[in-house]
Structure 1
Amino acid sequence: MSNSPTQIELIQPDDWHLHIRDGAVMKDVLADTARQFARAIIMPNLKPPVTTVGLAKAYKARIQANLNALGISAFTPLMILYLTDTTSVDEVRKAKDAGIAGFKLYPAGATTNSDAGVSDLKHCHAVLEEMQSVGMPLLVHGEVTSPEIDIFDREAVFIDSVLEPLRQHFPELKVVFEHLTTKQAAHYVRDAIIGGKNTIAATITPQHLLMNRNAIFSGGIRPHNYCLPVLKREEHRVALLEAATSGNPRFFLGTDSAPHAKGAKETACGCAGCYSAFNALGLYAEAFESQGKFDKLEGFASFFGPDFYSLPRNTQKITLVKQAQNIPAELPLGDATIVPLRAGETIAWSLVEN
């Protein structure tokens, strides 16, 4: 593949980290997502959170009802359970039997709707042992929440104080380090081997590949560029680009697209999250083009995620063309509107609609 093509054909990608919420907004999010992706890992941080197989099945049924209403038959939601201090070993076994894709570790208070998250991993040792035994992945929001730790340092501290001890204690537990934001995290995932095995992988978002923390403050506060983990310095963005475009199978696509209505972002205490579902593949293409690494895009977007999750790769194909796309200033979101990532701007790559 040329490093400067005008058309890219890919095996259809999956999104390995997605928020679709619930209720009236879900249909709009699913419509944007299913245009691009064949499958998506569905985050469980609803109110109340999706903590049991029964709740996951009910949530999946609501998703399927919206897909049916949209006339979409070629999209598969992959369900995740929210890990808590009281999750039981029996629930892990039920989850494995039910085809649940993994459990999500939210340190309590780390991000949107994470108050029910884990207060201390020592409460979860029996559960983690069972997950390791049955091959159930643990997806981690990799930040500590101690107020004395600077917000820009919370991911690096998490590696030393939580992730490395976790992996030493459970060396065969499959771990997905979600939405990397730092050089330290990229290098940790690149280099981490325990017991001669590769049991760790990571997702990287489009916003963390394309923007540094200046984007939050350019000409004033830019609430629609505010997400958690927060954007970091340029050196970290460069390290993430290097990781994503390296061809290393430990790194794969996960948008962390997180819909919040415009009014919930543009307020005195705005919500964290960037909405990239509308144009995610065009944004990733822009990032890979910036490095002259289009030949590495298909692995990152389409192959490495299903390989790590032990799922079959997709077979259908999609096409991106180098054709200017104007990103709307706002999009519908249930009864409200949402401001997508790069709203009002023009990006170079567009998806060919079937």
Structure 2
Amino acid sequence: MDTLTIRRPDDWHLHLRDGAMLRTVAPLSAGFGRALVMPNLVPPVTTGAMAAAYRERIRAAGFARPLMTLYLTEETDPADVVRAHADGTIAAVKLYPAGATTNSASGVRDWDRIRPVVDAMEEHGVPLCLHGEVTDPEVDIFDRELRFLDTRLAPLRDMHPGLRITLEHITTADAVSWVLDHGVGATITVQHLMADRNDMLAVGLRPHHYCLPVLKRRRHRDALRHAATSGAKNFFLGTDSAPHPQHAKEAACCAAGCFTAPHALAAYAQVFDEEGALGKLEGFASLHGPAHYRLEPNADTVTLRRGEPLELPAHHGGDPRVVPFDPGHPIRWHVDA
């Protein structure tokens, strides 16, 4: 199969930032139909009014169909969350454990303080998206997702069995099993399907491979590839494309995030091709996510073609300059304009 036509995919985990960075990356991310846009700006998007204003800035920058999220804090007003979801301002709420990743300082430290808003979300069907890592400095960074499953997510699921949960950017075989066992949704990124920690660390430190959650062992990468290509409806496309200026990535203490949005769909196709599962790509990329969020899939289609290796640019933009994630091996799929 050298040509594949599928329903236009959506991206269920996308960072667009704000200001000059937003204007740079929004048009580069517009190949997807819709995108669930993350709220970890400075200051974070914590109210329905802030989400509505950010949505207009995104549209003005060149992304037509953003789906907005609210940043969950210990002061979040349950009534505002329910109202913003009911009127279509937001599609979900995002929970960052404080200190887990970029711009997460305003995230949750005391989980007891968010019980009222989580109760309201469960009652009114508001989806919760989770960055699934603990932040205890005593826990090894490669074990933080596993510890989150045991100490945070399992109790949350027991207390709120009706809560609509998306465990974002899963990175381990343990998370794959947990998602299947508990019937929740999960997104999987390009980088976690195409690379492992050896790719990031074995031949010098490659900062453009550094993201959070961090890349794991090869066996975990293989488990993610099997999950994504299995056809299981729990798993769907979420790039976690996270742009940073080149100088912030190529630094003594580099920023966490991989910028994949412009070539993500081609990269996913490459993975599915390598796994002999091109027939499952439409489900993962275009159908499972809308079903999880109770939306209709996109009506239009995109066509992908296999050809010569994709030539990634050295960088996108001028000020800021953003370097794309390069997996280090060929991506032979191209998306027709």
TM-score computed with the length of structure 2 as normaliser: 0.97
Match of 1:46 in 2: 41
Aligned: 1:289 with 2:273: yes
Match of 2:175 in 1: 185
SS of the residue corresponding to residue 302 of structure 1 reads helix
Match of 1:195 in 2: none
Unaligned 5+ segments in structure 2 are none
The residue type paired with residue 58 of structure 2 is I
Moved more, 22-31 or 170-179: 22-31
2:68 is aligned, of 47, 72, 79, to 79
Aligned: 1:88 with 2:77: yes
Within 5 Å, give how 1:203-352 maps onto structure 2: 203-324=187-308, 325-332=310-317, 335-342=319-326, 346-352=330-336
Distance 1:92 1:340 in 2: 34
In the TM superposition, what is the alpha-carbon distance from 1:343 to its structure 2 partner? 7.7
Given that 1:326 and 1:344 are in contact with CA atoms closer than 8 Å, whether structure 2 keeps it comes out as no
2:55 is aligned, of 49, 56, 60, to 60
Distance 2:328 2:159 in 1: 48
**CA offsets, 1:146-169, max 9 Å, x none?**
000000000000000000100100
Given that 1:142 and 1:178 are in contact with CA atoms closer than 8 Å, whether structure 2 keeps it comes out as yes
Match of 1:29 in 2: 25
User: What value does the CA root-mean-square deviation take over the aligned residues?
Assistant: 1.2
Distance 2:237 2:209 in 1: 19
Q: 1:241 to 1:289 in 2, by over 3 A?
A: same
Q: 1:345 to 1:287 in 2, by over 3 A?
A: closer
**CA offsets, 1:63-89, max 9 Å, x none?**
12112xxxx6xx310000000011122
Moved more, 93-102 or 82-91: 93-102
Match of 1:113 in 2: 103
SS of the residue corresponding to residue 319 of structure 1 reads strand
Distance 1:58 1:98 in 2: 15
SS of the residue corresponding to residue 176 of structure 1 reads strand
The residue type paired with residue 3 of structure 2 is Q
1:173 is aligned, of 152, 155, 163, to 163
In the TM superposition, what is the alpha-carbon distance from 1:344 to its structure 2 partner? 8.2
Distance 1:272 1:142 in 2: 15
Structure 1 residue runs of 4 or more that deviate by more than 3 Å after TM superposition: 343-346
Distance 1:262 1:110 in 2: 22
**CA offsets, 1:287-326, max 9 Å, x none?**
1111100111000000000001001111100001002211
Q: How many residues align?
A: 335
SS of the residue corresponding to residue 12 of structure 2 reads strand
Given that 1:211 and 1:231 are in contact with CA atoms closer than 8 Å, whether structure 2 keeps it comes out as yes
Given that 1:190 and 1:250 are in contact with CA atoms closer than 8 Å, whether structure 2 keeps it comes out as yes
